[in-house]
Structure 1
Amino acid sequence: MPQTDFKNAQTYLSSQILGQEKLVNRLLVCLICGGHLLVEGAPGLAKTKAIQTLSNLIEGDFQRVQFTPDLLPSDITGTEIYRSQTSTFEFQQGPIFHNLVLADEINRAPAKVQAALLEAMAEKQVSVGSQTYKLDDLFMVMATQNPIEQEGTYPLPEAQLDRFLIHCNVDFPNAEQEKQILRLVRGEQTASVAKPDTLLTKASIFEARKQISQMHMSDSVEDYIVHLTMATRQPEKYVPSLANLIEFGVSPRATIALDQVARAYAWLNGQDFVAPDDVMNVAHDVFRHRLLLSYAAQAEHISADQVIDKILESVPVA
């Protein structure tokens, strides 16, 4: 059963990545949905280790790419190499041709590199010259951003942010978790959960995607999702106090994403239906990178999360 396999994977990952249960959950949710994950957090919070550990549980391969200002699009997509023996050009695949790709510090790369990644994320293909190359059906990008150091960075454009299914903020572990991390690193204790015997195969991942699409969702929960979306576009109708704080609401892609992510979240929790609480639990991660706040909100240091909090408080569950 795919559900059991994913639950075992989640339990094992949480035993390896201490204090980051939310990151582990969102990684698996994105994998189930076939989407991409943007992770924002300070250095040293096991963002890289999380996706590397996940790659060891999957029937697929992993590639890490360190984004820097001098990176070229061909460093991501690949390039054509001239073979003098045959007097022909041969395409050599870049790191994007892997199942799991970690784009480390994605906002340090210039616009051309980000644009090359955008096509791969949106269309699952890469264009080089006049040729188009398809990526594998199992393809996921996890990109990281450092919220502290912004010097020498290139902020991601809204079009690219919208391609990420989830934007997950990770925080520091608590004191008890920090103590467990110390002991685990020193070898004084081992992970309490053994690595699962069976890998997550492509067949089980695609079966999971099929199962979440068939989960029961009542009309009232569908209406709730739509009303949350509309509240970002017509705040004066739903939450008048937000009318001057939101410049642009979320796109229809956000509505689709909220539906998919809520289904995957409920499925991972062993449910066979989607409840309003499932929608509320994932709304911040789906909306925060898609909301464009006004200058008034920025001047008052109001964050997207605060706006989403107000929307969740004000929009009733049907």
Structure 2
Amino acid sequence: MKNTQMENTRIKIKDITDLDSLSSEYDISKEELIAFHNQHCALHEIIPGNLPKYLKYIYIPADKKSKRKEKSLFTPQIILPGTPEKSTYGVVMTTALPETRIHYLVDIQRKQGMALSIVRKKIYVNDQEVELMLEKLMETASKALYPLEISLKKDGRAEGILNVNEIKNRWKEEYYPRIHQYYEGKVADETIGKLNRFYENMSGSTEVLHQNLFYAIYFMPLYTLYPDYQKEEMLNFYFPSLKEVISYTVVFSLQKTLTEYNKILIHIKGKQINTPIAADLKNGSLDLLYQLNEETKTISSVIGKLSAFHQNKEVGIAIEVYQQKSYI
């Protein structure tokens, strides 16, 4: 006997809060959607009328997914979000030779207007807490920076540090005495001296952020007009293993349609700029894919990699940034 039951497919309903928007997107009435889902789902997945908060997936006719209405951006411009919002991001950076994986969590509190507050959590190296004396010293000293209050330019780049005096006092009154008392020896004394000069000379300039790849990735000039859905820029990134800043010519490409989960896509690709002396050498590359939340325009995720050629050897860094719903 021929099976007349319509083929179904299961879709994830992340970021979808009501059945009306879902039925509109897949060109099926709300009533048909509920009836079809309830016919194919498990007992605990039945939709009583409204979309249950615990439901992760919904069943729709297979042909409806292929005919899904693509949502388009109304204009080739992204505007910096100005409403308060708190997000936690998981950050993973991986380098080779030797392979090293660094990961940590970052809390970012967007405030009213063009400002935000940052708190970085504990750093893990190859899934372990830092163990070497110098690494522990540096991590403890870096805690004096947080919370870090940043003002923003309209395009999303960092403009200035707003709480410099607070950071200096935190270092002087809390972290410097603790570190100076706990760590001893010539190497420790030299390192503490450098850190003390760093904090004493700290100003409102965001130059202090340039050596942290996460900040270079997060404070990208995303929020601007994209003529013909593209724009060109020159970007600089600091490579810790080279102790040098590498420059790239890049193209930002804004996708005209939203993703299946209603994310805005911005793809950044580019090539390393070599000096005239090294013009005949190989070029490194940059490839980053950003997903922004449709409503808030905040960053949802970033994945990609950067590479640079130095003395004819390639050095690469892979980076992943994901917005978290809760601590992991």
Decide: shared fold, TM above 0.5: no
Q: Which has the higher contact order (CA 8 A, sep 6+)?
A: 1
Normalized against structure 1, the TM-score is what?
Answer: 0.22
Question: Which of structures 1 and 2 has the bigger CA Rg?
Answer: 2
Structure having the larger proportion of residues in strand:
2
Structure having the larger proportion of residues in helix:
1
